[in-house]
Amino acid sequence: VEEIMLHRSQIEMVDASMPTEEVLNLLLNSSHTRLPVYRDEPENVVGILHTKHLLRGLNAPLKVGQAPADAMKNFNLMEVVREPYFIPETATL
């Protein structure tokens, strides 16, 4: 696995404290659909954010009539982040 891994410095990541609009823009401009989410420092990965989970989470309040601006402001990113999985670099493909 080590042969195909990228170093953390080469990976696009989402800071858990970023405003929702910035997270959305980052995902829209990324060529990836899943990005790691970290808290405080990039070494502290707390989850994986999938674009479709973010969009579903943002769309849910709109279905019940909440204003788009309020949906963005009240959105909690960690509610749609999935648990991260870690693979040792010594694992075989």
Taking the C-alpha atoms of residue 74 and residue 86, their distance in angstroms, rounded to an integer, is 30
Q: What is the pLDDT of residue 91?
A: 86
Q: Identify whether 27 is part of a domain.
A: yes
Identify whether 92 is part of a domain: no
Q: Is the pLDDT of residue 8 over 80?
A: no
Alpha carbons 55 and 32: distance in angstroms, whole number: 15
> What pLDDT is stored for residue 90 in this prediction?
86
The predicted pLDDT at position 42 comes to 92
CATH number at residue 53: 3.10.580.10
Residue 67's pLDDT is 86
Query: Residue 21: which domain range?
Result: 8-79
Q: Whole-angstrom Cα distance, residue 2 to residue 19? A: 33
Q: Counting every residue, how long is the chain? A: 93
- Cα 8 to Cα 1: distance, rounded to the nearest angstrom: 15
Evaluate whether residue 69 is within a structural domain.
yes
Whether residue 48 is contained in a domain is answered as yes
Q: Is 91 part of a structural domain of the chain? A: no
Provide the number of structural domains found in the chain: 1
* pLDDT recorded at residue 1: 81
* pLDDT per position as a tens digit, 20-71: 999 999 999 999 999 999 999 999 999 999 999 999 999 988 888 888 888 8
